[in-house]
Amino acid sequence: MAEEIATLAGGCFWCVEAVFKDLIGVSTVESGYIGGRTINPTYREVCGGDTGHAEAIRVTFDPALIGYGDLLAVYKWNARNTVSLLVRNNLSWSDNKGGYQLDWSFPLYGRLKGYVQVFTGYGESLIDYNWRQTTFGIGVLLTDWM
């Protein structure tokens, strides 16, 4: 499947860039500026606030592994902890088959990270799309070792 590109502005692009590099399904993350009046501004000029630019990132991702909505619901604090929330809803009030997933990754030792995931709702996988369940998982992330 072809990769897709999302452009996201989020304040300091260095902080935002680090969050998305850790996500499964994201192949590249590039920092830059969007909008503005100045041609080819320097970092110092943009930070001064006079150019009208916003710091942004361009995320290239595989939509089979991660969606645009997933990209928007990721938050990182202390530069090492990541929390993400996935919300799915079919917008049918009489027969709602939505689901909610909360993920948290945190440092354990060096580049080794812990991972906790909670899911509740319908369709954690395509096999159980019509079955409501609540699951809890805990594990270890090795993605920073590659």
Spatial contact of 144 and 118, defined as CB atoms under 8 Å apart:
no
Q: Which of 12, 72, 87, 140 is catalytic?
A: 12
Residue labelled with tokens 């917008």: 91
Residue labelled with tokens 């590039």: 30
Q: Which of 49, 21, 18 is nearest to 35 (CA)?
A: 49
Spatial contact of 84 and 67, defined as CB atoms under 8 Å apart:
no
12 is catalytic: yes
Task: Report how far residue 95's alpha carbon sits from residue 116's, in angstroms, rounded to the nearest whole number.
Answer: 29
The token duo for 56 is 């942004």
Report, as residue numbers or ranges, the catalytic residues.
12
